[in-house]
Amino acid sequence: MKKLLIIIILVTAAVAVRSQVSEYQSMLQQANQFYADNQYGQAIEYYEKILASNYESSVLYFNLGNAYFKNQDIPSAILNYEKALKLDPTDPDIRFNLALANSRIIDKIEPLPEFFIKSWWKSVRNSLSSNQWAKFGLAAIILILVSAFIFITSRSILFRKISFWAGTVFTLIMLFSFLLSASSFRNYHRSNAAIIFTPTVTVKSSPNDNSVDLFVIHEGTKVFITDHIEGWSEIKLENGNVGWLKNTAYKPV
C-alpha cells in the first residue's frame, strides 16, 4: 500500500512538472510571436508573467531585454541584459546588446583600471558558467580515479609515474574548477549591482535630503550598492565615485 502511494505521488508530481513546463513553453512561444509581430508591449507582459512564475533563464532575460529595447525602455533593457549575463557570462550576443543599450544612456562612466590578477580571474571565471565549471571539475574527478586505478594496478614503473603526475595535474584542475564554480555562483547570488531607473538623480554626501550634492547620474547607469540606511543606499560607480541616494531610484540586478 505504501509503495502504491509513493508511486501515485511520484506520477502526480511528474505530470504536474510536465504540465508546468508545457505551460511555460506555450507562454514563451506566445511572447516570441508577439515580439516577431512587433507587439513589444504584449511580449513584455508574457515574458514578465513567466518570470513571475519563478522560471528564469538567460534566454528569457535576453528576450525580455530585447523587447524592452525595442519598446524604447533602455533602463529595463539594461537590467535584463545584466541578469542574462549573470546566468550566461559566455554569450557574446548578450554582451553586444548590453553594450548597445549602454551606448544609448547619458552617463559615460570610465571604470577604474583593475589589478591585472583580479581582471584575469574575472575573465577566466566568466569564460564558463558556474554549472559548466562544476562539470569540468567532475570530469577531472573521473580522470583522477582513472589515474589512481592505473597507478595501483599497473606493474610498469613508467605507467605508474605517468599516472601519478597525471593524477596530480587533474587534482589541481579539479580544485581550480570547483573554486571558479563557487566564485561564479557567489557572484550571481551576492551581486550588489543595480540599475538607476529615475531619469535624473542627485547623489548626496550622506543619507539626508539636506546634505551636500556630490554629482548627478541618470537612468540606465549601473551602480554598486555598498550600504543601506533607512530608505537610503550608499552607491559606488565604476569610476570610484561614492555617494548616497534613495532606494526608490534603482532596481537591483
Structure confidence by residue, pLDDT tens digits, 99-111: 999 999 999 988 8
Give the CATH superfamily of 2-102. Answer: Tetratricopeptide repeat domain (1.25.40.10)
Q: Which residue, among 184, 192, 186, 190, has the nearest Cα to 223 in the 3D structure?
A: 192
Q: Using CA atoms, how far apart are residues 126 and 95, in angstroms rounded to an integer?
A: 12
pTM over 0.85: no
Q: Using CA atoms, how far apart are residues 63 and 65, in angstroms rounded to an integer?
A: 5
Query: 193-252, what's its fold?
Result: SH3 type barrels. (2.30.30)
- The Cα-based distances of 65 to 40, 108, 158 in angstroms read 11, 20, 57
What are the domain boundaries of the chain? Answer: 2-102, 116-189, 193-252
- 19 burial type by CB count under 10 A (0-12 exposed, 13-18 middle, 19+ buried): exposed
Give the three cell numbers for residue 221.
547607469
pLDDT of 121: 84
pLDDT of 72: 94
User: What are the tens digits of pLDDT across the range 107-154?
Assistant: 998 887 878 888 888 888 888 888 889 999 999 999 999 999 999 998
The arrangement of strands across the sheet holding 193-196 comes to 213-218, 200-204, 242-246, 232-236, 222-229, 193-196, 250-252
Reported as a pLDDT band with limits 50, 70 and 90, residue 40 is very high
pLDDT of 13: 46
φ, ψ (nearest 5 deg) of residue 8 = -60, -45
